[in-house]
Chains A and B, each alone.
Chain A
Amino acid sequence: MTGIRLTKPWRDLDEVEVALLPGQLGVFEIADEEGSTLELGFAGGHSRFGLRSAIPDAAARHEQAARFRYEVTMQYWSRFEELLAVHVADHGEVPAGNADRGDRRIGRIAAPGS
């Protein structure tokens, strides 16, 4: 099964790349220099400029943020839940930046290869 993980190319977190981001809705991943995920997020219906504002806003919460990747999708809510579940299947826990979910449950997905 393909298409469950975010496989889009990583981009450097700099002004040029951020300015190129689309204003659409979608999901994204923020990572440090080594590619360890710091936060998974989505640009939802309330985001001012879609991914273009949601990604830098999320990155600003992480000092080590160095790169990001994203996927444009209108189904950002269920796709975000799917990415969280796959991350937990791969790493056993949610990224540090997503630890504030209270008691909201994470789905259990048997990630491909597991």
Chain B
Amino acid sequence: MDFELSTEQKLILETVRRFVREEIAPLEADLDPDASELPPHHRERLVAMTKELGFYGLDIPEEYGGPGIDLTTRTLMAFEMAQHRAGLYAPCYGVFGGAGLAQLYEADDDQKERYLYPVLRGEKRGFFALTEPSGGSDPARAIRTTAVRDGDDWIIDGEKTFISGADKADFGIVFARTDPELGRKGITCFLVDTDMPGFRVRRIVHTLRSTHYAAELEFNRVRVPGRNVLGEVNQGFAIANDRLSRNRIPYAAGCVGVALKAQEMAIAYAKTRKTFGDYLSTRQAVQWMIVDNEIDLRTARALTLEAAARADAGKPFRTEAAICKLVASEGASRVVDRAMQIHGGYGMTKDLPLERWYRELRIRRVGEGPNEIQRLIVARDVIGGSFH
């Protein structure tokens, strides 16, 4: 596949690269190493800059006012935007704006007015609640939260866990079982406001990641009006899966981005650090770590771009998206691990971003569908059949 960049792409990437190096990276020197937000005055200043550049709301579809950037260019930008300490889960601290939860684009006009547009205007935040204590890899079977019809309303009972950002959200997309007999065809998707009586955030689930940390939720007879059903009753699983493959591509790109930076750091350090009278870069053991990094990086980069290019061309890309997600998350983990090894003791410290990337990349092998599930998707596609 030929990935010769167009003049426009080169210009965009140069702009983003400069933005990360000149605007984001210097701020991180003063922020706590685990910070996931910018102080409000810096945020406002940088949002104004991205708006000026025409990059704000990058992921918003063009018909909703987004800049209409294709997925390949978006992927290339994601490689750049992740190249700072918080870059994996908070690329550029969100100053390029968000697109909101993908499922909101499936909403009806009334729901778009109440949820999608306020999200796009930055007035509301949402969460996505699929996973339950009974499991997340196979939600069609694991979901135990129920929604029972009561007149025009639905009554939701149950619990969810590992739900990112739920404690700071105004509403959530919640999947509940509406027909216990129908398996994956018995799940419905609801828009639940966090001030509805019976909804509680029980606690924060502390993990390796502090950005958009996860929470445990309780639904105790939460009464939800019928107009808050997102999509069709019993068709919620299709909504859960919607855009899942597409999301895996920028997800992979973030992994590639931090790995690119880790490799740059490893090379620079190996060329300046001396042991036993010579530079680390002269030692074959160190050279091979850098070479293995390069192989992991180029593989992940190429596969991610291939998935993006297929999606842009309107070709099927589910297999490619699954492959790039797992290759990038596993490859980037190895790259960061080797970069830490080359940095010795300093690699383990909070003075450098490597330890944060190491922790957060570990989550990438489970998030957005564990890598075993990605392998399952590929197996289904290449072998055929519907085994699980």
Contacts and interface: CB of A to CB of B under 8 A. Distances in A.
Contact of A44 (B32, B37, B194, B202): B32
Given A45-B350, A76-B34, A81 B201 contact: no
Interface string B30-53: 001111110111000000000000
B315 interface: no
Contact of B168 (A46, A75, A107, A110): A107
A81 B41 contact: no
Nearest to B33: A45
A52 to B, nearest CB: 16
A75 B386 CA distance: 41
Given A102-B40, A108-B168, A77 B210 contact: yes
Nearest to B212: A78
A112 B139 CA distance: 28
B201 A109 contact: yes
A4 B33 contact: no
Given A81-B213, A102-B41, A110 B201 contact: yes
Interface string A51-95: 000000000000000000000010111110110010000000000
B388 interface: no
A77 B34 contact: yes
Contacts of A107: 167-168, 201, 204, 215
Contacts of A4: 203
Given A75-B210, A78-B210, A104 B203 contact: no
A103 interface: yes
Given A77-B210, A78-B210, A102-B41, A109 B33 contact: no
Contacts of B32: 42, 44-46, 77
Nearest to B350: A45
A45 B32 CA distance: 6
A102 to B, nearest CB: 4
By CB atoms of chain A within 10 A, which of B40, B204, B210 has the most?
A: B204
A44 B168 contact: no
B200 interface: yes
Contact of B202 (A42, A103, A110): A110
What size tier do the contact residues of chain B reach? 20 to 34
Interface in B160-180: 167-168
B40 A82 contact: no
A102 B45 CA distance: 14
Interface string B139-157: 0000000000000000000
A82 B204 contact: yes
Interface string B345-361: 00000110000000000
Contacts of B213: 77-78, 81
B195 to A, nearest CB: 9
A4 B213 CA distance: 15
A44 B33 contact: yes
B201 A77 contact: no
B167 A108 contact: yes
A82 B351 CA distance: 25
Contacts of A79: 204, 206
B202 A77 contact: no
Contacts of B41: 102
A1 interface: yes
Contacts of B210: 75, 77-78
A4 B204 CA distance: 8
Contacts of A46: 32-33, 350
B206 A109 contact: no
Most buried by B among A1, A77, A85, A106: A77
Interface of B: 32-37, 39-41, 167-168, 194, 200-204, 206-207, 210, 213, 215, 218, 350-351
17 contacts: A3-B203, A4-B203, A44-B33, A46-B32, A46-B350, A73-B206, A75-B206, A76-B34, A77-B35, A77-B210, A78-B207, A78-B210, A107-B201, A108-B168, A109-B215, A110-B202, A110-B218
Given A45-B350, A77-B210, 17 more contacts: A4-B203, A44-B33, A45-B351, A46-B32, A77-B213, A78-B206, A81-B167, A82-B203, A82-B206, A102-B39, A102-B40, A103-B40, A104-B40, A107-B204, A109-B167, A110-B201, A110-B202
